[in-house]
Every structure is written in structure tokens, then in C-alpha cells.
Amino acid sequence: MAIKQKPEEQKSKLLEVLTTEYKWENLLLGVLATLSGALAVMIISGSTLLQINSNFPILGQGNNGIIFAWVLLAISVFGLLLVVYPFFLPAIPELKKITWPSWPKFLDHSVRVMIFLFVLTGMLLLYDILIIRLLGGIL
């Protein structure tokens, strides 16, 4: 008796490429989105470092350069959100576990932090004055 073999299903190569997660794709997307966002901001701000020449085809005519810059900025912000979103996704369940302190405890902790900051600032100010006086005497 022969064993009947199941026919293998043909997988879409396009679907396989789109669903495969590559090691450096998020880093590359983050770098490209940051660079394109900086480029867009430079065009929008009218910086002298980067201007679209009026002779440049399509973008140099009228407001096309500014429209291009705003679209590029929107795409780069979307790209940055795609990079940052997976990083914060695991934090959402953890944020739901937080118990917030009561008002008196919050006030107590806030006052302690402010006192610590004032003391630390005073110490740094004294050290700074001392160092300036010592250097002033030496020089």
C-alpha cells in the first residue's frame, strides 16, 4: 500500500519577504527617518544651508518645495513612530501595575526631593566659588 503525499502549498514570496523581520531594519529606518526629518525641517525653515533652486524641475516651481518638505516631514515622523512603538509596547502592561502614592506621601517625597536639590545646589555653588578663588589666586 502506497502512502499518499500531501501536495505542498505554494507560499507567496512577496508575503514571505514582507513578514520576515530583519536584524537591522529598525535601526536603518530610525536613521533614515531622522535624516529625512532634519532635511525637511531645513527646507521648511528656509535655512541658507539647504534651499531648493528655482530651476530645479517640479520642486522649484511655486510652493512645491514646501509641500514636498511637509510631506517628507510627515513620512519621517511616521517612520520614527514605527521605530519607537515596538520599544514602548511591552511597557504598557507594566504601567497598568503601578500604584500611585497618596497625596500626603506624594507631598512628603516632593518636599524631600526639593530639600535635597537645594542642599546639592548650595554645595556645588560653594565648590564653584572655592575653585574660582583658588584659580584666581594661582593665575
Q: Alpha-carbon distance 38 to 42, whole Å?
A: 6
Q: How many CA atoms lie within 13 A of 60 on its CB side?
A: 8
Alpha carbon 119 to its chain centroid, in Å, reads: 34
> Which segment of 66-80, 85-99, 107-121 scores lowest on mean pLDDT?
85-99
* pLDDT over threshold 90, residue 128: yes
Tens digits of per-residue pLDDT, 38-50?
A: 999 988 888 777 7
Maximum alpha-carbon separation in the chain: 104
Cβ atoms within 10 Å, residue 89? 9
- Is the CB of residue 30 less than 8 Å from the CB of residue 83? yes
* Number of separate helices (H) and strands (E) present in the chain: 5, 0
Identify the pLDDT of residue 1. Answer: 58
**Length of the chain (residues):** 139
Q: Alpha-carbon distance 77 to 27, whole Å?
A: 15
Q: Alpha-carbon distance 134 to 139, whole Å?
A: 9
* pLDDT over threshold 90, residue 32: yes
Q: Any idea where the domains of the chain sit in the sequence?
A: 23-90, 101-139
> Which segment of 13-17, 77-81, 120-124 scores lowest on mean pLDDT?
13-17
